[in-house]
Amino acid sequence: MSIDWTPLSSLIETYDKFVVTSHVRPDGDALGSTLGMVGLLRQKGKDVRAVMTSRTPPRYDFLDPDGTLFEHFGTAVTPADLADREVLVILDLSAWSQLGEMADWVRSFPGKRVVIDHHVSQDDLGAIFLKDTTAEAAGTLVTRAAHALKVPITPEMAMGLLTAIAMDTGWFHHPNTTPQTLRTVAELIEAGAKIDEIYRLLSERNSLGRLKLMGETLTSLQTELNGRIAYASVTREDFERTGSIPPDTEDLVDFTVSIRGVEVGMLFIEQPRGGIKMSIRSRNGLDCAKLISAFGGGGHKAAAGATLPDPLSESLPKVLATVKAALGG
């Protein structure tokens, strides 16, 4: 799928004040693609702010070393501060639920909205959609946009875009990794991304709390349906006991599908303000995004997630039953 970037190009020709945002609980793709887009727009001479609905997880602080790029919505920035913005660029999401506390502001945003995304699930966000569901990351799309708009990729942008692609492909081992992925990565390294440094910053700066939380998560692993399903849960007490924070759960769901014979893996995480965030991964072609849409979730075929309002004791059995049924159990 190739995207026609003319709508973005026209917005850039017409308007000057941009705001870029991405999803709640931002991951490497959300933050890295935002960094890339901010760089693109600034090189076009635009006045750009990057406003996020969640705080930057400490793991990703290297993408914003001065702490001046990502502004936290609701504390550092209020809707009044954004009243002069003409264009809103939304990256790596296509669902209202992924906007968290920014959703109401986005709904009432009077300017132009454009979504640049690779997720299958889609709400009507009242936006121009620049979408390619075959792309491995939103960071890939921002890289392509830079090409289309003839904007050079700075070393800073390259660091963000490579982080985005690396994290959304599981460091180039998920099925979405293609020859073109590696060509894009080669280009980003040529543009100044330091792949070894990014890996080290992401993988060798764990907090003790995150490692202890990993231990708790592994301890809580259970299997069902003769080992075809594996799941684990993280409770609020786990965070407290281990001294970890919710962003420390990133990628822990991957442990569930690392067990031999597991076709579907899930991780259930109690949220600080109630309810459950769940992630699901499939290794047998099961469409996770479709399955989890019954719970208001979405994502990709092999990887999806949902936010569930009910407590763990109620939501876990419901989702588990649905997955069992989908596997013919």
Nearer to Mn ion, 95 or 213 (CB): 95
Q: Determine which residue in the list 29, 71, 156, 248 makes contact with Mn ion, applying CB under 5 A.
A: 29
Place of tokens 């309002």: 309
| The pair of three-digit structure tokens given for residue 34, joined into one six-digit string | 């935002």
Of 229, 232, 218, nearest to 262 (Cα)?
A: 229
Q: Report if residue 136 touches Mn ion, rule: CB under 5 A.
A: no
Nearer to Mn ion, 47 or 251 (CB): 251
CA 283, 285, 290, 295 dihedral sign is negative
Binding mask 137-166 for Mn ion (x = CB under 5 A): -x----------------------------
Binding mask 172-211 for Mn ion (x = CB under 5 A): ----------------------------------------
Residues 6+ positions from 69 with CB-CB distance below 8 Å: 35, 38, 50, 63
Answer for the pair 221, 256: CB distance below 8 angstroms, yes or no: yes
Q: How far is CA 60 from CA 25, 35, 198, 213, 252, in A?
A: 12, 11, 10, 19, 17
Nearer to Mn ion, 168 or 250 (CB): 168
How far apart are alpha carbons 69 and 67 in whole angstroms? 6
Q: C-beta of 29: minimal distance to Mn ion in Å?
A: 3
Neighbouring-strand partners of residue 21 = 90
Q: C-beta of 249: minimal distance to Mn ion in Å?
A: 17
Stretch that binds Mn ion, among 43-51, 55-63, 107-115, 167-175 (CB under 5 A): 167-175
Please count the residues of this chain forming the interface with Mn ion, following the rule CB under 5 A.
4
Residues 6+ positions from 67 with CB-CB distance below 8 Å: 56, 61
Q: C-beta of 207: minimal distance to Mn ion in Å?
A: 24
Neighbour count for residue 84 (Cβ, 10 Å): 12
How far apart are alpha carbons 48 and 44 in whole angstroms? 10
Stretch that binds Mn ion, among 1-9, 78-86, 168-176, 189-197 (CB under 5 A): 168-176
Stretch that binds Mn ion, among 27-35, 268-276, 278-286, 320-328 (CB under 5 A): 27-35
Nearer to Mn ion, 156 or 168 (CB): 168
Nearer to Mn ion, 125 or 213 (CB): 125
Q: C-beta of 300: minimal distance to Mn ion in Å?
A: 8
Answer for the pair 114, 40: CB distance below 8 angstroms, yes or no: no
Q: Determine which residue in the list 168, 216, 238, 263 makes contact with Mn ion, applying CB under 5 A.
A: 168
Nearer to Mn ion, 131 or 210 (CB): 131
Nearer to Mn ion, 182 or 218 (CB): 182
Stretch that binds Mn ion, among 84-92, 225-233, 288-296, 300-308 (CB under 5 A): 84-92
Cα-based angle 31, 136, 159 (whole degrees, multiple of 5):
40
Query: Between residue 91 and residue 110, which ones bind Mn ion under the rule CB under 5 A?
Result: 92
Containing 103, the helix (H) or strand (E) segment is helix 103-108
Name the residues that contact Mn ion, by CB under 5 A: 29, 92, 138, 168
